[in-house]
Structure 1
Amino acid sequence: MSDIMLQPKSWVVVCDGGKALIMQNAGDASGINLKVQETLTQPNEPDREIGADKPGRTHAADGLSGSAVEETDWHKQAEVEFLKQVASKLDLLVRERDVQRIVIVAPPRALGTLRASLSADVQAAVSAELAKDYINLPVEQIERRLAA
């Protein structure tokens, strides 16, 4: 299923726009044994709780015509901010723990957003990326899918 060769002591980050599991492979060459080191989450509030009442309106210079302003996608904005936090956490790992190998598993859109926020040091440590949504799977299933 994947072409990822997961080395011992590699770090695996499984995330989407609202949750991230940061794990380390405690296994050896015979098998993957992921140990969760940290779980990051963001509250998933409805738009009505995090946004304004209703979209604004704009009026043309002639004073006669007007139109609604496109409403801000608060969830997308929150996902981008959350993925920036994940990128900062990875930067901290690389700098403080001298992490050499990171495998990132995320849905395609989240992967692209995360990739844009990674520092050069983290990018150098990323050994593989997998555009899959594994965040709601138990760790044992993540291990099996990465080993397949």
Structure 2
Amino acid sequence: MRETRTWILLCEASRARLFTNDGRGRLTEHSAYAHPGSRVHGHDLVSDRPGRRSEAPGHHGGLSPDAEPREVEARHFAGSLAALLKQGLNSHAYDELVLAAPPHFLGLLRNALDSQVAARIAATFDKNLIALTPRELEQRIYAPAR
């Protein structure tokens, strides 16, 4: 019988860490990702002049007044992570997935996931666990419920 391979993605709006568990109980950090655009102050992400808008009926300009620049960057990063998870699933690198992120970013990530990837989610944690060591992460994720 084959062991269940699990990917564990810890993330926030500007960085992520991917761990693997080959089914034998120990976590290994597979890779780390950074998205510096999510750390930049909002005023540094936009130009000093507003974009052009068309006054034509039914035409919507390229700018969305509702989206803050940092939110746009966070959505881009969530999309990049979702693509990474899809690629991993397509290459049969994992059988199940565990996600941990602050609530807002976890929502962005879940919205960006392919339905096949979403079906592999075994657990989610709506907390920022990115700073945990592999040992602390094992204890947090695999500890029996109290």
**TM-score, length-normalised on structure 1?**
0.75
In the alignment, which residue of structure 2 is the partner of 1:88?
A: 83
Number of matched pairs: 128
CA offsets per residue over residues 45-79 of structure 1, 9 Å max, x none? Answer: 222321122778xxxxxxxxxxxxx6852111111
C-alpha separation in 1, matches of 2:80 and 2:16:
10
Alignment of 1:31-46 (within 5 A): 32-43=25-36, 44-46=39-41
CA offsets per residue over residues 74-96 of structure 1, 9 Å max, x none? Answer: 11111111011000000000001
C-alpha separation in 2, matches of 1:16 and 1:26:
24
In the alignment, which residue of structure 1 is the partner of 2:20?
A: 24
In the alignment, which residue of structure 2 is the partner of 1:15?
A: 11
Asked if 1 retains the 8 angstrom alpha-carbon contact of 2:16 and 2:130, the reply is: yes
Choose 1 or 2 for highest CA Rg: 1
In the alignment, which residue of structure 1 is the partner of 2:129?
A: 134
Asked if 2 retains the 8 angstrom alpha-carbon contact of 1:27 and 1:34, the reply is: no
Root mean square deviation, CA, Å: 2.5
C-alpha separation in 2, matches of 1:74 and 1:123:
27
C-alpha separation in 2, matches of 1:105 and 1:140:
16
Gaps of at least 5 residues in structure 2 are: 52-64
Gaps of at least 5 residues in structure 1 are: 1-6, 57-69
Tell me whether 1:125 sits opposite 2:120 in the alignment: yes
C-alpha separation in 2, matches of 1:102 and 1:72:
29
Instruction: Find runs of 4+ consecutive structure 1 residues off by over 6 angstroms.
Output: none
CA offsets per residue over residues 94-131 of structure 1, 9 Å max, x none? Answer: 00125211011111111111111110110111111111
**TM-score, length-normalised on structure 2?**
0.76
Question: What amino acid maps onto 1:33 in structure 2?
Answer: R
